[in-house]
Structure 1
């Protein structure tokens, strides 16, 4: 599952340092092939060490409304043109792999909605080697965040911390004109769960309601996710037995506490958010586009029901982008919370007027 940062993404992106060491993510034997028209051929990158992903035609993708399907088919048929953001400043000796590319996007198949879908979908979209799994992508994302966060200036740190608080420790006095339910998340050490349960039971025996007692103890003894250090601990959680922490979620409405998700089995994973996507983009020095296809309940017309949310790395761009898909549904038009992979097929360069969209 995924969580989108509504109004703090730009601030976070601008506050990190803009340097990042080179990362070699491809198999050494794989290569990008430039055809006579200058288009990058990604289809030759699959090697014996990579997991091939079979694309799915949009006719066969479940859960799409007719207007979504028609626009996605149009994008596939005509392609989308990607231009390197600094293409006009690239001199003639620069690598042609950074020139304009037309992509035809196919669905990369379903992935499990276990909380790790950002990383699973990214793994498939990048067609990565088998030895690099989704959990390794999660680890590298957190490591990239910590490296950049650790070198940020004091004022930059506060901007990042504020964005994290907005996501996971929101001010419950505000925001109700936008949200019906707001969540506050905490981290409980797995080894502390027996002691936490004992403390909750003591309050219950004193006459307090169970959920109120749990809220009180978790807020008092657990770690709120309200800064870079706690975000890194949170984003490291994959829902496995090896996790150090469990995720506790308190849900509120404007009237007060709605529910307490105690995650007693410890299976909850940290959903990928925009900060994580930007860290992935920086780690691999390539843009990531989240493609949202909205249904009729989002109150958008068919021509505008598909749009692309770019996430740029905080460093130079050394690779072509990859794409993730979200089936946008829901009353607020804010999209779903589940990422799926898109497979980008490269085509020969055509005129800008002939493509479906210019990124």
Structure 2
């Protein structure tokens, strides 16, 4: 998790232009035209924005406008000038999903018609499989790039970054079968007079697997908080002064929260773009990995820029219309966004770009 200081009036433009973690491992093949029939959706049971909790009024008004006027998606290949490769979608909230760490996959299952019969854990498994296949065929330069991104997120260098981060987290993986041996090693240090958290930090860093490269990311992202998981997630939290806390996850319920890498793998697996609908709240930009805070009296942004889309594109041809996710904060990670919810895209008749609420 990070925090960047910037001018709030430029935040939306910045994040509409690119995804926070761009991973061009593979040059995209020429895009194929979308299928002639856009996925049909059932409008019944999808919540109106008036019923969604946790929104400020300016955000709610903007989301209602997106639903009423629609967003225009243009297929990257283009069309013959008749709008045949463009679709206008009205976006409605697809309902709440459990905040159990599996929300990316649960929300994706609800948002994408092609995945509604697929179990959320199966979506997680396919995401990891897609990552391993593409990572295994990546060039050395691409491998280095993705490894650096993983280290930045899950094994940050504690000697730097404190100008932006208040708290930094290190993720470690403990084999479930090793938990008893780990506890015994921690108890030995306690008998020598070491404090509990310091002893736990020492043993976990010595004996557990850091999430610091492609193979360890795959093991981490496979964790759904199920007793069947091979590993438990251990989280060490640090401030600039040193160790803050150790989350030992003794019940083994913690799941790996879906990140931008996982979203891009999902996009590649289903050959479609995924747009994450993020929002700026009281000067804070909610995105997948960055909390952008603007200080001063101008911290609030105007209504037009309080909601924006983060595109995640597949590393292959785009054969299907996109699907959409909504990201908002639950308070778990301070001011940042930590929870995905589904957006239901209702295709409607094509209108000119001047009449829609937004062009993607």
Tell me the TM-score range normalised by the shorter chain: 0.7 to 0.9
User: Is residue 2:322 matched to residue 1:321?
Assistant: yes
CA distance in 1, matches of 2:29, 2:175: 34
Q: Which of residues 202, 225, 233 in structure 1 aligns to 2:211? A: 225
User: Match for residue 52 of structure 2?
Assistant: 61
Q: Tell me if structure 2 keeps the 8 A contact 1:109–1:340.
A: yes
SS of the residue corresponding to residue 40 of structure 2 reads helix
Q: Which of residues 162, 186, 189 in structure 2 aligns to 1:203? A: 189
User: Match for residue 87 of structure 1?
Assistant: 78
User: Match for residue 259 of structure 2?
Assistant: 273
User: Match for residue 25 of structure 2?
Assistant: 15
SS of the residue corresponding to residue 126 of structure 2 reads helix
1:265-317 CA-to-partner distances (Å, cap 9, x unmatched) read 00000000000000000000000000012222423221100000000000000
Q: Tell me if structure 2 keeps the 8 A contact 1:126–1:322.
A: yes
Q: Which of residues 144, 161, 172 in structure 2 aligns to 1:158? A: 144
User: Match for residue 234 of structure 1?
Assistant: 220
CA distance in 2, matches of 1:348, 1:61: 26
User: Compared with structure 1, are the counterparts of its residues 262 and 218 closer, same or farther at alpha carbon in structure 2 (3 Å cutoff)?
Assistant: same
User: Is residue 2:344 matched to residue 1:343?
Assistant: yes
User: Match for residue 212 of structure 1?
Assistant: 198
Gaps of 5+ in 2: 5-14, 285-299
Shift of 1:10: 6.4
Worse-matched range after superposition: 69-78 or 299-308: 299-308
Q: Tell me if structure 2 keeps the 8 A contact 1:55–1:343.
A: yes
Q: Tell me if structure 2 keeps the 8 A contact 1:294–1:329.
A: no
- TM-score when normalising by structure 2: 0.85
CA distance in 1, matches of 2:146, 2:184: 35
1:43-94 CA-to-partner distances (Å, cap 9, x unmatched) read 26x7xxxxx9721101111111101100000111111000011215x799xx
Q: Tell me if structure 2 keeps the 8 A contact 1:11–1:159.
A: no
Q: Tell me if structure 2 keeps the 8 A contact 1:67–1:295.
A: no
Query: What pairs up with 1:153-192 in 2 under 5 angstroms?
Result: 153-192=139-178
Q: Which of residues 102, 117, 127 in structure 1 aligns to 2:88? A: 102
Q: Tell me if structure 1 keeps the 8 A contact 2:150–2:211.
A: yes
The alignment of Structure 1 onto Structure 2 pairs a total of residues equal to 330
User: Compared with structure 1, are the counterparts of its residues 32 and 84 closer, same or farther at alpha carbon in structure 2 (3 Å cutoff)?
Assistant: closer
CA distance in 1, matches of 2:22, 2:115: 30
**What is the aligned-residue RMSD (CA, Å)?**
2.8
Q: Tell me if structure 2 keeps the 8 A contact 1:295–1:329.
A: no
Gaps of 5+ in 1: 23-30, 35-39, 47-51
Q: Tell me if structure 2 keeps the 8 A contact 1:294–1:333.
A: no
Shift of 1:150: 0.4
SS of the residue corresponding to residue 24 of structure 2 reads helix
User: Compared with structure 1, are the counterparts of its residues 19 and 169 closer, same or farther at alpha carbon in structure 2 (3 Å cutoff)?
Assistant: farther
CA distance in 2, matches of 1:5, 1:148: 30
- TM-score when normalising by structure 1: 0.85
Q: Which of residues 288, 296, 304 in structure 1 aligns to 2:282? A: 296
